[in-house]
Amino acid sequence: MTELRKRGGGGDPDSTENISDKETDGEDRLGLGAEGEGDGEGDSKADTPDVPPSVDNTPQCLNKALGGLSSRWKNWWIRGILSLTMISGFFLIIYLGPIMLIVVVMSVQIKCFQEIIHIGYRVYHSYELPWFRTLSWYFLICVNYFFYGETVADYFGALVQREEPLQFLVRYHRFISFALYLAGFCMFVLSLVKKHYRLQFYMFAWTHVTLLIVVTQSHLVIQNMFEGMIWFIVPISIVICNDIMAYLFGFFFGRTPLIKLSPKKTWEGFIGGFFSTVVFGFIFAYLLSQYQYFVCPVEYSSESLRSFSLECEPSELFVMQEYTLPLMVQNILRWRTVNLYPFQIHSIFLSSFASLIGPFGGFFASGFKRAFKIKDFADTIPGHGGIMDRFDCQYLMATFTHVYIASFIRGPNPSKVLQQLLVLQPEQQLSIFNTLRSHLRERGMLPPAVLEAQ
């Protein structure tokens, strides 16, 4: 934009005339104009949040009950009460099973997408960009179709085998997904308006980055859940624990600012949250590792009344084992060995990430909000802001958990291989059967009775 301003009268006259005054104002509001290139006083003013008046959507009953408190303590009680309410709702949803969890994850994803897209619309609403919101939601539908279609193909093989239309959709899923996206891409190109090219490409990028942050991470949350409910519950719970404990330590003991992006964050809260989260994750992992409902992979079962089977022989991760402590620790604790679930050791790494790296998801969100001079993504939850304000760290945690499982936990999944075999043609299934039988015969793994029968 600065380059265009410096060209003067030379060159193609359309190169500067095509950029409207409104577009220039929009870029200046986003810090994309000439002032964004300087430093010092200009930058400090640009970074200062110009927070619009917030809407107080606190229930009247809470306002009356807490009316005599200072704003600091009133906010503390409101956050605490609503946090407990949300935690109770979270455990209720877990009780209702995997299908309800998938519905909730998708609902949260849609709400987070709406909040981020709405910020872009508020910035550019006066420019009447054609099809912006329509195309944003269309791309959301396309990306969800792709990811959920992949999930159906991977984990619902028995259902796909039984339903003829699903077999067609699974076979050509990626082509259909690409065709849908291509239609949206063409619609975007056709919607380009001469005076708003740059703004429209800003919003095209805005939509795609939002899809990358929100939809992709939501898909990973669901992928983690299919590895076992414990891989869904523990990462989410330790992020919640870290958020609560960091807030409490910061509220009561905070003195030293942690980062300029979030002035209320303190070192005391950061460190207190870390130790509290590691302890909580270790104990919580011990409790959940004892129940098949939490540790068994979530598998679709056409025979089960609940559609999903949560019964299995627990893997080694969830079988109690004896560990010999290092000599130095033995001298301190006077214990030579301890009995632990291996998953408890993994929980230490998950908790450490949630406490040390996870908050950077929140810092990223704080920087984003400061860039657009807003206090919260929305005012959906009193005392907390929008849904995205509560899930900014969760998305980063979901990605780490997925990578951690793929790198250190997951091995060949017999159930998944079987589901893939079931969607093959009968001739292909028979060929694989004969190959496997020959392989087992050569290794001497077939019982004598089977060899005699052949």
Burial of 187 from C-beta contacts in 10 A (0-12 / 13-18 / 19+): middle
Residues in the chain, overall count: 454
322, containing H or E segment:
strand 321-324
Q: Please state at what angle helix 71-96 crosses helix 229-253, rounded to 10 degrees.
A: 170
Name residue 39's amino acid: D
Look-up of token digits 């983690």: 224
Helix, strand or coil, per DSSP, at residue 20: coil
How many Å apart are CA 204 and CA 9, to the nearest integer?
A: 31
Kindly report, residue by residue over 380-435, the tens digit of the pLDDT.
Answer: 877 677 889 888 889 899 999 999 999 998 766 666 677 678 777 889 989 998 89
Q: Please state at what angle helix 267-288 crosses helix 229-253, rounded to 10 degrees.
A: 150
Kindly report, residue by residue over 203-261, the tens digit of the pLDDT.
Answer: 899 999 999 989 999 999 999 999 999 999 999 999 999 999 998 999 899 999 998 88
Q: 37-46, 128-137, 168-177, 411-420: which range is least confident on average?
A: 37-46
